[in-house]
Amino acid sequence: MERVEVHASFGGRQEVWRHESASLGTIQQVGVYLPPQAVQGEKCPALLWLSGLTCNEQNFITKAGAQAIAAELGWILIVPDTSPRGEQVADAEGYDLGQGAGFYVNATQEPWAAHYRMDDYVNIELRELAAANFPVNGHWAISGHSMGGHGALTSALRNPGLYTSASAFSPIVAPSQVPWGQKAFTAYLGDEPAVWAEYDSVELITSGSNPELPLLCDFGDADDFLEVQLQPQRLQEALDRSGRRNARIRLQPGYDHSYYFVSTFFADHLKWHHAQIGAGS
Amino acid sequence: MERVEVHASFGGRQEVWRHESASLGTIQQVGVYLPPQAVQGEKCPALLWLSGLTCNEQNFITKAGAQAIAAELGWILIVPDTSPRGEQVADAEGYDLGQGAGFYVNATQEPWAAHYRMDDYVNIELRELAAANFPVNGHWAISGHSMGGHGALTSALRNPGLYTSASAFSPIVAPSQVPWGQKAFTAYLGDEPAVWAEYDSVELITSGSNPELPLLCDFGDADDFLEVQLQPQRLQEALDRSGRRNARIRLQPGYDHSYYFVSTFFADHLKWHHAQIGAGS
C-alpha cells in the first residue's frame, strides 16, 4: 500500500492509500482516518463506510465531518471507492451503472464479472488489508449512504459475525423492487431471482439472515429519492414481520439525500455503533 | 434574492442564494447557514466567512463542518464567493488572479476596476443584504482562510466598529511582501505603496488601525505555503511592536493548508467569537 495523501485532522490523521486489489484486479484508493488514539499506537475499533452512486473515496472524508466524533470516540474510519476503477474496467453511460456504481456485489455477468467484485473487496480483502496495516482491534462496524447504505446492510446481514452493528443513511433497501437496483442487478447478476435476493436487505431480513444484528437506519422525509428508489416502508414491514429486536428506522423531518443529512446524524450513528460494542461483548 | 439551494442541516438550514450585486455588477451566489434559533425566528449573531484562492461559496459550506457548532451556539454563517463571476468579468491565466482570486480589494486598475470591488461587496453590500433578508442581530464577526484570512483581518482592521472580532486560518498577512499578494495587488491596485498598505494586515497593525479589535489566527506548521506566502512571523512581529492586548497567533503542529485544518479548529474559533460578544458588550 502506498500513502498518497496525509492531513492532520482533529489530532489524528486523514490519509488516502493506493493499493493493488487482488479481488478487483485494479489499483484502488481508500480513505483511512486514524484517530489520535490510533496514531499513539492504541488498537481501535473500525467503521467501514460505503459511499453512494457517483462517489469515490473523497466524498465522505471531505464532506461528512466524521473525523470529529471518530477522534472523540477513538474509531478508525475505512472508506473505499464505490467500484473498480481504471481504463481497463468496463463502464456504462449514466451515473447508476459501471464505474462509481458497483453496488457492492460480485458480478457474474459480462462485461462486468472481470473486475466488479466489490462484495469480496470490501468484506474480505479490505478488512485484511486494514488488519495488516492499521491498528484495528477486531471490532468492525459498517455504515453507508444510499447505494452504500444498501452495501452496508447487505454486507452485515449476509455475514454473521463480521460486523458488530450496521447502520445506513438513506439506504436502498429493496434493490430488487426499485429502478436503480433492477438496472444494476440485471447487468451485474443476470436475471436469477435467487442471486438478487442475496443482495437485497428486505429479502435477507425476510429470510431471517443474521437475526441478532443491531440495525439503525435514518431517512430524510424531504429526500427526492424516497418514494421511488428507497421505499423505507418495505424495510419497516420486513422488520415488523421478522420480529427483530435491535432494529430501528427513523424518518428525519426536512432532511434530503445530501451529505448535509449525513453530517447531521453521523455522530449519532457512531455513538450508537460504539454502544453496540459494549452491548455485544 | 433568489434561493437556489436549501438543505436541512443540524436542525437549521444550509441555503445558497443568488442575487444581483450592485457593487460588483454581476450575479453572485452566497451560502447562508441559518441555525435552528434563526429558523425559529430568533435574531442571531452572524459570522462572515471569506474563502481562499480558487474557492466559491461551496467549499466552506460543504467541507468545514461548520454547521454543527453554528447550530449549537446559534450563529448565522454568511459565505460569499471569492470574486465577481460571469462571462463579462475579466479573468487571467493562473489560479491566483482574476475569477476565484478577488483578494477582497476594490480594484483601481483596468481591466479589473469594472467588477472587482470585493471590499465594498463583503463589507457593505452583503451586510446590508443579510440585515434585510435574515434575522441578524447586529453582532458581526469575520473569519476566513488563506486569501480569505487576509480579507477577514484587513476588513476588520480597516473598519473599526464593523466586526466584534476577527479570526483567520492560514492567512496571508503581509500581501505586499509575498508573491501571491504582490501579483494580485500590482494587477488590481497598481504600484502605489500607500494603496497596498490599506489592504495589508501587517501594515494596518503597524499603523495602529482599530487597536482594540480582538484577533485570533491559526497556522499549521506543515502548511506548504507557510514560509513563502504566509510568513506568520511578520504578523507576530507587528503584534509585538504594536502592544495589542487581545491578539493571539497559534502554530498548530502537523496541520497543513487544507480544509482538514479549518474543520479541526473552526468550532474553537466560533466559540472564541461567541465569547468576544460577551466581552465587548
Active-site residue identified among B9, B146, B167, B201: B146
Contact status of B62 with chain A (Cβ, < 8 Å): yes
B220 sits in which H/E element: strand B215-220
Contact status of B256 with chain A (Cβ, < 8 Å): yes
Of A8, A252, A255, the CB nearest to B260: A8
Contact status of B254 with chain A (Cβ, < 8 Å): yes
What confidence tens digit (pLDDT) does each residue in A176-226 have? Answer: 999 999 999 999 999 999 999 999 999 999 999 999 999 999 999 999 999
Let me know: does B144 contact B49? Beta carbons within 8 Å. yes
Interface test mutation site (partner B, options A10, A39, A263, max chain B beta carbons within 10 A)? A263
Q: Is the pTM of this model over 0.90?
A: yes
Residue B223 Cα, gap to closest chain A Cα (Å): 10
Buried b (16+ CB within 10 A) or exposed e, B87-123: eebbbeeeebbbbbbbbbbbbeeeebeebbbbbebbb
Q: What is the pLDDT of residue B278?
A: 78
Active-site residue identified among B201, B223, B269, B273: B223
The share of chain A scoring above pLDDT 90, in percent, equals 97
Confidence of residue B275 (pLDDT cuts 50, 70, 90): very high
What confidence tens digit (pLDDT) does each residue in B37-50 have? Answer: 999 999 999 999 99
A200 given a catalytic annotation: no
B214's grid cell: 480582538
Q: Do A264 and B14 touch (CB under 8 A)?
A: no
Average pLDDT rounded to a whole number, residues A96-122 = 98
Q: What is the pLDDT of residue B175?
A: 98
Residue B129 Cα, gap to closest chain A Cα (Å): 25
Q: What is the pLDDT of residue A279?
A: 65
Quickly tell me which residue has 443513511 as its cell: A169
- What are the CA-CA distances from residue B79 to residues A180, B5, B51, B57 (Å)? 35, 14, 8, 6
Average pLDDT rounded to a whole number, residues B237-251 = 95
The CA dihedral of B244, B246, B251, B252, to the nearest 10 degrees, is 180
User: What interface predicted TM-score (ipTM) does this complex get?
Assistant: 0.96
Which residues from chain A sit within 8 angstroms of residue B59, using beta carbons?
A: none
Residue in chain A closest to B223 (alpha carbons) equals A7
B191 given a catalytic annotation: no
A93's grid cell: 453511460
Chain A with chain B: Cβ pairs closer than 8 A:
68
Q: Do A65 and B263 touch (CB under 8 A)?
A: yes
The torsion angles phi and psi of A119, rounded to 5 degrees, stand at -60, -55
Interface test mutation site (partner B, options A13, A169, A264, A268, max chain B beta carbons within 10 A)? A264
A258 given a catalytic annotation: no
